[in-house]
Amino acid sequence: MKTIKELDEIRKSVYEKVKTRVGVESKTEKKSILVCGGTGCTSSKSPKIVEELEKGIRERHLEDKAEVIKTGCFGLCAKGPIMIIYPRETFYTMVKPEDVEEILTEDIEKGNVVERLLAKDIETETLAHTLHELGFYKKQHRLALRNCGRINPENIDEYLAFDGYKALEKVLLEMTPSEVIDTVLKSGIRGRGGAGFPTGRKWAFAANVEADQKYVCCNADEGDPGAFMDRSVLEGDPHSVLEAMAIAGYAIGSNQGYIYVRAEYPIAVNRLKIAIAQAKEYGVLGSNIFGTDFEFNIDIRLGAGAFVCGEETALMTSIEGKRGEPRTRPPFPAVKGLFGKPTILNNVETLANIPEIILKGAEWFSSIGTEKSTGTKVFAVGGKINNTGLVEVPMGITLREIVYDIGGGIPNGKAFKAAQTGGPSGGCIPASHLDTPIDYDSLMQIGSMMGSGGLIVMDEDNCMVDIAKFFLEFTISESCGKCPPCRIGTKKMYDILDRITKGLGEEGDIEKLEELAQNIKKSALCGLGQTAPNPVLSTIKYFREEYEAHIKEKRCPAGACKNLVQYKINEEKCKGCSMCARNCPVSAISGEVKSPFKIDPQKCIKCGLCMQKCPFKAIEKK
Amino acid sequence: MAEKKCCCCELNSEKLKRLDQIIEEHKTMEGALIPVLHEAQELFGYLPEQVQQKIATGLGCSLAEVFGVATFYSRFTLEPKGKYNIQVCLGTACYVKGADKVLEKLEQLLGIKAGQTTEDGKFSIQDTRCVGACGLAPVMVINDEVYGKMTPDMVEGILAKYN
C-alpha cells in the first residue's frame, strides 16, 4: 500500500528515466532499447531478441549504457519484430535475433545507425530514421494506444510515470460520482465495441438504480476475426483498463469488476494478472483506495471460444458459468445484469480512453473527431494491404486516407476492391465510397458499421460472393442455436450462397437472399443474429453484378470460386516444357515436349498446381 | 453422450487428485464451472466423461449441465488431441490471403480433415478463428510455434520437422 505522496515520488523519479520516450530531453546517456512484445512480434521471435540483447549487454558490460524494455504493440505489424532505441528514437524493423550483435556494436557502442534495419517509406522510398518519418504514423493520433510501445506493461511504475492512476485519484478526491458521469457524457464518447452507445448514458442508467451490489464488466472477448485492438491495449497498457474500471465503479457505486477475456490471448491474460497484483500491492485496487472508503476489486474470467459471448447478456451468462446464450432485453443489464444485479459492460478500448478524459477534460476529448463521433478509433488493418497492423485515427478520417496514406495501398499493383468493417456483423465498402468519413453514422448509412475495429482490405482477386459465404459460415458455427431465425435462417442463406458459388445458382436466388435477410434482421433475438445478414446485403448492394455473373453466366469474375474456374494453357506462351504435366496430380495435362500442352477439363480438379509450377506463366484461370 | 471406451484406466491417479484440489479451490466461487473446466482441460488435455462426472459431483451440479457447457464452447474438447496440434487460422485476414488453400494442402498431406486426429495420434488439425497475428497472415500454429506468411508449398517442409 502506497500513500499519495509515495506514488508521486515514484512518478517523479521514474519519469526522469522514461521521458526521452515522449521526446523530452534528458541528461541521461543511457539508451533504452524498446522491443515490441505484442502477439504479432512475439510470433516472429521478439522474445528471443530480448533474450539475446540482455545476454549481450551482460557479456559486454553495457549495463550503464543500455537497458532493454519489452513493450506492447507499436502498430506496424507487417514490419515486425520492431525495435526503437531512445533517445535518438531509431526505428528498426524486421529485426532478427542474429542482428543483435551488430546493433550492440554499431548502435549502442559506437553510436552509428544500422541502416539496413531501417524501414523504407512506401511512398517516398526514403529511409525512415524515426517512426514519425513513416507515412504509416503521420495521420495517426494515439490516444487509447498512448502507452502501447511506450511503457513496459509489466511495470506499474512506468504506467505511473505517465500520470497513471492520477485520474482515479482525481475522481476519488475531487469529484462526485455524478460529476464523473457528467464528464463522460459531455465527452461524447460512444462504445468502441461496435454499436456506439453513449458510454456516459450507460453509466447513468446503472448509477440511478438502487441495489446492494452492482458490477462493472469489461468486454475483452474480442471475437471478430481479423480484429486485435483490444488485445493490443491489454498487452500494451493493462493498467489503463484497470484504472478506468475503478473509475466506473466509483461512478455507478460498485466495488467489484470482472474482465471477460479470450483464453486465446495468453499474453494479455498474463499481463492483466501481473497488473492486478501490482495494483493491489500499491493500493490502487482493493479497499480504502487513496485513503477514502472506496473499495474496488477486479477478477479475470476466461472466455472459452464462443463468439456470441461478445453479446452483453451472453457474456454475463458465461461469467455465471453457464452456456453463453443471450436473453431478451429488457430488463437491460443496467437494471438486471450479472448475477441478477445492475451491471455495466464496457469494451476495452472505450475504457482505455476514460483516464485521459478525466484528466484532460470532456472538451478536449470532444474537440477530436466529429461532432457525433468524438475521439479516435483503433483499427486492425489487414488483408490485401501493404502496412498491415494496428492504427489509431481521429474519427472522421476517410477510408481512402486509411488505405492509401496510412496503409500504403494494395500490394502487387492490384486494384482496391472493397474494405470490410464490422466483421461478421458489418459490410463491405466498395471503391466508390472510399471518401466516406469513418464515423458511426456514416458507416451505418452505407450499409456497414464501425464494429469493433477490424478493417480487412480486399483486392480484385477476392470474390464478394465467396466473402459473404465465408462470413455466414462463421455465423452458422457461432450461432448459439437459441432462436430459430439465426439458427435456421442463416443456414438457409448459406445454402443458397453455397449453390451460387458452385455454379448451381438459380434465377430469383438474390431476391430470396434479400427476403430471408430482412426477416432474420427483424426477428433474431440478439445482435449476432440481427446483424448476421449484413455481409450478404452489403455485397448484394454494391456487387450485384458479381452475384449475377455467378448465377446467370456460371462465371466467377474474380476467379476465386473453384467450381466456376477453368484452367487453360495459353498456346502462345507455352514452351512445351512438360512441367505442368509432371506436376498434375490427376494426369489431366498431356502433350508433346516442345509443343503446347492441353488440359482436359473433364479430369481437371482445379487445384491450381500447374499454374503455380509453370515457369512461363502460360496457364490462365478463367 | 456417445458410447466410448472406458477411460478411467488411462487417467492417472495423481492428476485425478489434482482435479480434486482444483474443485475444492473453486467451490465457493460464483460461476466456478468454466474456470474449473479450463484447468481440468489444461491438466488432462481434454475432458473425458469421468472428469466431467467428477466436476459435476464436486460442484454440485448435474452431468448434463457440465456436458452442456463443455460442448457449447469450442475451446473445450471431449476427445484427446494429437501430439502436435496444428491450428490453421481462418480469420478474415488469413482467409482473404488464401488460408483455405493452406488447410486443404494440410488435409491432403495428413489424410485427415479439420477436427480430426491421425491414427497414430501424432497430428491433429483444427481450423481456428483469428489467432490475432493478422500482420503475418496466413498463419498456422503447431502447438506453440507460429508459422506466418504461409503458402501451400511450405506445408510439407514444415511437417517434415515434426516427423
Q: What is the pLDDT of residue B10?
A: 59
Show residues of chain B in contact with A318, CB under 8 Å: 34
Looking at the structure, tell me whether residues A189 and A319 fall in a common domain: yes
Looking at the structure, tell me whether residues A452 and A473 fall in a common domain: no
Work out the minimum CA distance from A315 to partner chain B, whole angstroms: 12
Q: Per-residue pLDDT averaged across A536-564, rounded?
A: 95
Looking at the structure, tell me whether residues A308 and A176 fall in a common domain: yes
Work out the minimum CA distance from A458 to partner chain B, whole angstroms: 7
Q: Per-residue pLDDT averaged across A561-577, rounded?
A: 91
Please give the ipTM for the structure prediction.
0.89
Name which of B65, B90, B136 is nearest A44 (Cβ-Cβ).
B136
Looking at the structure, tell me whether residues A239 and A340 fall in a common domain: yes
Give the best residue of A273, A323, A390, A459 to mutate against chain B (max B CB count within 10 A).
Answer: A323
Mean pLDDT, all residues of chain A: 95
| Secondary structure letter of residue A325 according to DSSP | -
Work out the minimum CA distance from A356 to partner chain B, whole angstroms: 27
SS3 of A5, please? helix
d(Cα A575, Cα A584) in Å, to the nearest integer?
A: 17
Q: What is the pLDDT of residue A97?
A: 96
Give the best residue of A45, A222, A228 to mutate against chain B (max B CB count within 10 A).
Answer: A228
Looking at the structure, tell me whether residues A360 and A386 fall in a common domain: no
Cβ neighbors of B120 (< 8 A, separation 6 or more) are none
Residue A561 located in a structural domain: no
Name which of B74, B101, B148 is nearest A305 (Cβ-Cβ).
B74
Show residues of chain B in contact with A301, CB under 8 Å: 31, 34-35
* Residue A425 near chain B (CB below 8 Å): no
Looking at the structure, tell me whether residues A488 and A511 fall in a common domain: yes
Contact criterion met (CB below 8 Å) for A144 and A378: yes
Residue A557 located in a structural domain: no
Q: Of the spans A520-524, A565-569, B136-140, which averages the highest pLDDT?
A: A520-524
pLDDT cut 70: percent of chain A above it = 100
Q: What is the pLDDT of residue B5?
A: 45
Residue A352 located in a structural domain: yes
Q: Per-residue pLDDT averaged across A413-422, rounded?
A: 94
* Residue B67 near chain A (CB below 8 Å): no
Looking at the structure, tell me whether residues A195 and A106 fall in a common domain: no
Contact A304 B73 (CB under 8 A): yes
Contact criterion met (CB below 8 Å) for A255 and A298: no
Contact B93 A382 (CB under 8 A): yes
- Report whether pLDDT(A314) > 80: yes
Looking at the structure, tell me whether residues A295 and A165 fall in a common domain: yes
d(Cα A26, Cα A290) in Å, to the nearest integer?
A: 31
**Digit-coded pLDDT (tens) for A137-171:** 999 999 999 999 999 999 999 999 999 999 999 99
Q: What is the 3-state secondary structure (H, E, C) of chain B?
A: CCCCCCCHHHCCHHHHHHHHHHHHHHCCCCCCHHHHHHHHHHHHCCCCHHHHHHHHHHHCCCHHHHHHHHHHCCCCCCCCCCCEEEEEECCHHHHHCCHHHHHHHHHHHHCCCCCCECCCCCEEEEEECCCCCHHHCCCEEECCEEECCCCHHHHHHHHHCCC
Sign of CA dihedral A144, A150, A156, A162: negative
* Residue B142 near chain A (CB below 8 Å): no
Looking at the structure, tell me whether residues A64 and A198 fall in a common domain: no
The number of folded domains in chain A is 5
Q: What is the pLDDT of residue A608?
A: 84
Name which of A77, A265, A321 is nearest B34 (Cβ-Cβ).
A321
Work out the minimum CA distance from A258 to partner chain B, whole angstroms: 12
Looking at the structure, tell me whether residues A358 and A385 fall in a common domain: no
**Digit-coded pLDDT (tens) for A438-478:** 999 999 999 889 988 999 999 999 999 999 999 999 999 99
Show residues of chain A in contact with B73, CB under 8 Å: 303-306, 324
Residue A150 located in a structural domain: no
Q: Assign residue A488 the CATH number of its domain.
A: 1.20.1440.230
C-alpha Rg value of chain B to the nearest Å? 18
Residue A145 located in a structural domain: no
**Digit-coded pLDDT (tens) for B57-101:** 999 999 999 999 999 999 999 989 999 999 999 988 899 899 999
Q: What is the pLDDT of residue A28?
A: 77
For A111, the grid coordinates are 553510436
Last residue of a domain, one of A427, A459, A491: A459
Name which of A305, A380, A458 is nearest B75 (Cβ-Cβ).
A305
Q: Per-residue pLDDT averaged across A202-210, rounded?
A: 97
Q: Assign residue A247 the CATH number of its domain.
A: 3.40.50.11540
C-alpha closest to that of A323 among A480, A133, A113: A480
Contact B31 A223 (CB under 8 A): no
Work out the minimum CA distance from B36 to partner chain A, whole angstroms: 10
**Digit-coded pLDDT (tens) for B1-45:** 444 444 444 577 899 999 999 999 999 999 999 999 999 999 999
Choose the weakest-confidence range: A16-30, A253-267, A285-299.
A16-30
Show residues of chain B in contact with A474, CB under 8 Å: 129
pTM flag (> 0.90): yes
Residue A344 located in a structural domain: yes
Q: Per-residue pLDDT averaged across A315-321, rounded?
A: 97
Q: What is the pLDDT of residue B7?
A: 47
Looking at the structure, tell me whether residues A38 and A184 fall in a common domain: no
**Total count of residues recorded for chain A:** 622
Q: What is the pLDDT of residue B136?
A: 86
Looking at the structure, tell me whether residues A452 and A468 fall in a common domain: no
Q: Per-residue pLDDT averaged across A214-243, rounded?
A: 94
Q: What is the pLDDT of residue B4?
A: 45
Contact B135 A388 (CB under 8 A): yes
Q: Judged by CB atoms within 8 Å, which residues 95-124 of B form the interface with A? A: 95-97, 101
For A613, the grid coordinates are 509450377
Could you confirm whether domain B84-160 is CATH 3.40.30.10?
yes
Q: Per-residue pLDDT averaged across A73-101, rounded?
A: 94
Boundaries of every domain in chain B: 11-72, 84-160
- Report whether pLDDT(A17) > 50: yes
Name which of A228, A304, A384 is nearest B134 (Cβ-Cβ).
A228
Show residues of chain A in contact with B37, CB under 8 Å: 304
Residue B98: count of CB within 10 angstroms of its CB? 17
- Report whether pLDDT(A224) > 90: no
Residue span of the structural domain in which A594 resides:
566-621
Q: Judged by CB atoms within 8 Å, which residues 277-336 of A form the interface with B? A: 301-307, 318-324
Q: What is the pLDDT of residue B131?
A: 80
Q: Assign residue A597 the CATH number of its domain.
A: 3.30.70.20
Q: What is the pLDDT of residue A456?
A: 93
SS3 of A159, please? helix
CB pairs under 8 A between A and B: 130
* Residue A540 near chain B (CB below 8 Å): no
Residue with C-alpha cell 543483435? Answer: A100
Residue A148 located in a structural domain: no
- Report whether pLDDT(A232) > 90: yes
Mean pLDDT, all residues of chain B: 90
